[in-house]
Amino acid sequence: MMELKEVSVKYQDRIAIKDISLKIGKGEKVVLLGINGSGKTTLLKLLNALIYPSSGEFLYKGKKLKDAIKDIRKESIMLFQNPDVMLFNPTVYDEVAYSLRKKGLKESEVKEKVMYWLKELAIEDLVSLPPYKLSGGQKQRVALASVLAAEPQILLLDEPTAHMDLPSVGRLIEIIQKTEATCVISTHHISLAPELGNRLVVLSPHGRLLYDGAPENFLKDTSLLLEAGFMHTHSGSQWHFHSL
């Protein structure tokens, strides 16, 4: 479905990701793990065609990026880490209804889908409120509801658990497990990786592909954890996880 071939992205004099080669198939649940600054957001933006490779090649359903941009933007949606950049409608209801109305659905269908997702994320009591009055966690769930209501083929979720309490994280995990959409979910919370997906892609602190495989194998490999920046040595022989 999506393939990167030795892709690098450079911002002025800084390399964000370097020589990434990756294939993501239809329906996969891929967790993108890395410490802050490792290039996770850059990679998600690339997969959503919001930015372009500085070098290398990005193929979508076998098409080169320049020939696939319309398809990518029609079939995939990215949830940004900061929900404020996504919320622009007068009420929570209108926010979640926005993509459905653009599709031309009847208002009765719009209402049914909006209320379904608001209930799924336990925010139905916010339906009439303006998004700007909500807490960070509430905004995150409204933004997530609007993304899910659009029913994209591909969900690109950038740190979706940011601002969320534990019950909300649990609901998100259940939704990801149930959806038929292809999901790429970024996080720097190593403990969440096995819950969010069954394939783990790890970026090094310098934006290189460090690991691609089962989450449990990565979590058992001390050398990989060190190289990824999730562990450090202390007093010679003691190992400590970073607080992330």
Domain boundaries, the chain: 2-241
Q: What is the CA radius of gyration of the chain?
A: 19
Q: 4 forms bridges with which residues in the sheet?
A: 22, 58
pTM: 0.90
**Following CA atoms 178, 197, 216, 45 in sequence, which dihedral angle do they give, to the nearest 10 degrees?**
180
Total number of residues shown for the chain: 244
Minimal CA–CA distance to 244: which of 30, 53, 38?
A: 38
Query: What class, spelled out in words, does domain 2-241 have in CATH?
Result: alpha beta
Residue type, 128: S
Spatial separation of the C-alpha atoms in residues 226 and 5, rounded to whole Å? 26
pLDDT in tens, the chain (244 residues): 899 999 999 998 899 999 999 999 999 999 999 999 999 999 999 999 999 999 999 999 999 999 999 999 999 999 999 999 999 999 999 999 999 999 999 999 999 999 999 999 999 999 999 999 999 999 999 999 999 999 999 999 999 998 888 998 999 999 999 999 999 999 988 889 999 999 999 999 999 999 999 999 999 999 999 999 988 765 554 444 444 4
What are the Cα distances from residue 72, in Å, to 21, 45, 56, 90, 93?
Answer: 19, 11, 18, 28, 26
